[in-house]
Amino acid sequence: MVNSGNEKIKYLTQSETTRLFSAIMTYTSSHSIRDLALFRVAYRCGLRASEIGMLNLEDYNEKQGALYCKRLKGSNNNTIRLDYKTKFALDEYLNHTKLTASSGCIFPSQKNNPISRQSLDYLMKKYCRLGKIEDKKKHHFHALKHTTAVHLAESDMDIKELQWWLGHKSVSNTEVYFQFTTKQQERMYAKLDASSEMV
């Protein structure tokens, strides 16, 4: 858990994230392929629920495996290269659904509108429950964006790189993710243990 002023940012640990994706992959429904692609894209790119609905087919460069992400709340748009798992999931979904350029959004609702925040929150709650993620305050789609940010901060990405990745205009919005998480504390103590400077 990371503190932002007096507010505690909720994010999934690495173990909880693994359980979330395992739940998505093992759940069988007519939307299983879509849901896996949707959650992988949101996690890889650090997208808000409303930003998922803004993704259009023209934003995806399949050959390069890159996705142009339109950001809200005054953030900067950017292009994120997808990892293998995310590209595979997105390509499988697009091949399965046979969307065309005229279809518009990548993740449409049943009424062919962009998928709504309410639908994404419903899916997050369902898969968190199936993944046995006990803290219900994490059962909100926005927790996935925080999860991406914390995991990237823990992966030794520096603050300017993370600022660009998340599209933050101000680095102060990024700093909160560099407060000490458990993994960062473990790394700090390992450095101290290995140092000959401490008596």
Q: Read off the CATH number of the domain in which 139 is found.
A: 1.10.443.10
Q: Is 91 part of a structural domain of the chain?
A: yes
Mean pLDDT along residues 66-87: 96
Lowest mean pLDDT among 16-30, 90-104, 145-159, 181-195: 181-195
**pLDDT number for residue 88:** 98
Inform me whether the pLDDT recorded for 5 exceeds 50: no
How many domains, in total, are found in the chain?
1
Mean pLDDT along residues 8-35: 94
Lowest mean pLDDT among 24-28, 110-114, 136-140: 110-114
Rounded distance between C-alpha atoms, residue 85 and residue 82, angstroms: 8
Q: Is 199 part of a structural domain of the chain?
A: no
pTM recorded for the entire structure: 0.87
Range of the domain at 10: 2-194
State the DSSP H helix or E strand holding residue 128, giving kind and residue range, or none if neither: helix 117-130
Position 6 confidence tier, pLDDT thresholds 50, 70, 90? very low
125 versus 6: the higher-pLDDT residue is 125
Rounded distance between C-alpha atoms, residue 88 and residue 84, angstroms: 6
Q: Is 104 part of a structural domain of the chain?
A: yes
Mean pLDDT along residues 168-196: 77
